[in-house]
A and B are shown apart, each in its own frame.
Chain A
Amino acid sequence: MLDIFQYDFMIRAFEAGIAIGIVAPLIGMFLVVRRYSLMADTLAHVSFAGVAIGLLLKINPIFSAIGLSVIAGFGIEYLRNSRRISGESVLAIFLSGSLAIAVIILSLAKGFNANLFSYLFGSISTVTATDLVVIITLATIVFIDVVFLYKELFFTSFDTELAEASGLPVKMINLTMVTLAAVAVAISIRIVGVLLIGALMVIPVISAMQYGRGFRFTLILSVIFSIVSVILGLFASYYYNLASGGAIVVVALIIFLLSLVFVGEGT
């Protein structure tokens, strides 16, 4: 057996990483096709404020990150639907606002230390046994939701007005989508980090889209790309002592570049 699997923390990192590798592009796909990619980054920054609150209140940061990002997701949808502020502006406000709040809380909690670095860029050594249970449970819930709501999520993403005219509760589906995105982002922080989770949700999807196939095929391919990125990234992180989030996203980028070349040659 590879020496990497002699350590419990590495096994936990792989288990959590694969769970995240599955749900991140599942949600990312619906955000990308809605031209809402910035949502992932926004929710990641909100999650960071949630982590800061967790550190201040001395509770598990995953829980505070999930709570705050779900609340923010609802707030974003509410403001977007009110049409008083454009969708992009709403995201910009939440993104920079939550970062400002996170910085203030972290300075109050004296949280500027090496631990903070792991939340920003991901770390393979920080996934506790409790984290693993939470991550796998929530990832399973997100996965099941996407599978069961697939046709509704697809239709709403493709054409919101047609979906509404067909009798779908579009607002409820959008709120569900935002909630799933918030949960997926928050559980990914440990492994991928706040600054890079958006990339794991978006890059495998864009890579898969290069192959010019249908939605279902593209979705499955993006999950495969994402899982490969996570596995190779974690190996690189362990053997070369790199921040796991950075290593995972660089692998995802290499897959993207190879896809560009491969598809370019194929056409």
Chain B
Amino acid sequence: MPLEESYIELNNVSFSYNITTVIENLTFSIRKGDYVGIIGPNGGGKTTLIKVILGLLHPTEGAVMLFGKDHHDFKEKYRIGYVPQRVTHTERNFPATVFEVVRTGRIARLGFFERFKKEDIEAVERAMEISGIAEHRDTLIGNLSGGERQRVYIARALASEPEVLILDEPTVGVDIGAQKTFYEFLSSLNRDRHLTILLISHDVDVVSQETKTVLCLNHNLVCHGLPKDILNEHVLERLYGKHSKRVSHEPNDQTTKN
């Protein structure tokens, strides 16, 4: 079977803040249709990696290729949707409706001074519908629950009609029930809409259950492969230290408990 087109490709990428190396010699690629989870300890470079991919930080060494182009030459930002980490910490008093926030997802497709067109509004309405927040269209974002706000940011990312969706710890501050629904929704986006997804999570259990491939990051790439093949005690010890143990969220799941 031929390999799918590579959407994101990193070749020996390193990034340092002054003299502190945060990520080192990362080489991997993410292909069309992938659902990749990135796990690793706090401070292990997960968010920095995302910022490098998004062009918010420039690698100190190595090359980042996005859709076959060097990231310096990559201008079609709308092809990558991004859901940041601090979604649930949005300024509560910011006077913006759900519609106004989701509409910002279309800005990457528009030029300076260019007004929103009919097709932009239609894409916004569609993204709100898919994300299940259409009923909150005119609600202020600060008045929503953590889970609802999460969906607003997903809708915002989907409004640009991206080919890749990058999510950084998307369920921090979201209750367990809403998390489950949320990950089912993500899986359906990957399965039914063929959206390529890159999910950062500190939750090893979620990543092993939801994603197709896992990258383990602790400054460098500790492992890369199928969740069932690589998520074992040995790898977790290399990632999180020797006292780490994996505890499943499922009450009857004995197989993963120590």
Contacts and interface: CB of A to CB of B under 8 A. Distances in A.
Interface stretch (B3-11, B101-109, B126-134): B101-109
Given A214-B99, A215-B100, A151 B84 contact: no
Nearest to B54: A165
11 contacts: A151-B116, A162-B104, A163-B107, A164-B56, A165-B77, A166-B78, A167-B77, A209-B93, A212-B95, A214-B140, A215-B96
A151 B82 contact: no
A88 to B, nearest CB: 16
Q: Interface centre among A158, A159, A165, by most B CB within 10 Å? A: A165
Given A164-B56, A165-B56, A214 B110 contact: no
Contact of B77 (A158, A166, A212): A166
Contact of B107 (A155, A212, A213): A155
Interface in B72-110: 75, 77-78, 80, 82, 84, 91, 93-97, 99-101, 103-104, 107-108, 110
A166 B55 contact: no
A72 to B, nearest CB: 26
Contacts of B96: 154, 158, 214-215
Nearest to B83: A162
A35 B103 CA distance: 22
B107 A151 contact: yes
Contacts of A214: 95-97, 99-100, 138, 140
A218 interface: yes
Given A212-B140, A214-B97, A215-B95, A166 B113 contact: no
A33 B94 contact: yes
- How many A residues touch the partner, as a band? 20 to 34
Nearest to A157: B94
A110 interface: no
Given A151-B110, A164-B56, A215-B97, A158 B104 contact: yes
Interface string B158-180: 00100000000000000000000
A213 B104 contact: no
Which one of B78, B100, B104, B108 has the greatest number of beta carbons of chain A within 10 Å?
A: B104
A84 interface: no
B134 to A, nearest CB: 16
Contacts of A161: 56, 84
B108 A166 contact: yes
Interface in A163-210: 163-168, 209
Given A161-B56, A162-B84, A214-B95, A148 B113 contact: yes
A151 B107 CA distance: 8
A152 interface: yes
B95 A213 contact: yes
A260 to B, nearest CB: 14
Nearest to B103: A151
Nearest to A212: B140
Contacts of A58: none
Interface string A19-37: 0000000000000010100
Contacts of A133: none
A165 B91 CA distance: 19
Closest 6 CB pairs of A and B: A167-B77, A214-B97, A166-B108, A218-B95, A165-B54, A155-B104
A258 interface: no
